[in-house]
Structure 1
């Protein structure tokens, strides 16, 4: 799975912050849920429009950002 297919950045959505499939759900929001201890199954139950691959894409994106100087170069 390629996170570039799921993580988008558009000036018209969430002021250009990385978000999931151009929805008003940012990578940061997802990472806060995962970091707060929610399981993937809990997230999927609470947010039915989110898919498992969306969660994985957020984690992959975050790993790339931490390992690089700029997130923009990956999208």
Structure 2
């Protein structure tokens, strides 16, 4: 299920135990946040995970800020 106000973030009980993920992937919001905390840039994350865009990374940050 996509979240209202966060079209790039989904929560599905059948994917990653119902934890928030980037839509269409199994990349958890927490994974992206940990990479950013470790010093990775949005561009580096997108390069390492080609199915995640820099816009997805920004959406993760917006979601985390809200929650």
TM-score bin (small chain):
0.7 to 0.9
Work out whether residues 10 and 23 of structure 2, in 8 Å CA contact, stay in contact via their aligned partners in 1.
yes
- CA 1:29–1:13 in 2, change beyond 3 Å: closer, same or farther? same
Which runs of 5 or more residues in structure 1 are unaligned?
Answer: 66-75
> What RMSD in Å do the two structures reach over aligned CA positions?
1.4
Higher strand proportion (structure 1 or 2): 2
Which runs of 5 or more residues in structure 2 are unaligned?
Answer: none
TM-score between both structures, scaled by the size of structure 1: 0.79
Larger Rg over CA atoms: 1
Correspondence for 2:15: 13
Work out whether residues 3 and 58 of structure 1, in 8 Å CA contact, stay in contact via their aligned partners in 2.
no
Aligned length: 64
Instruction: List aligned pairs for 1:1-75, cutoff 5 A.
Output: 4-65=6-67
Which structure ranks higher in relative contact order (CA pairs < 8 Å, sequence separation ≥ 6)?
A: 1
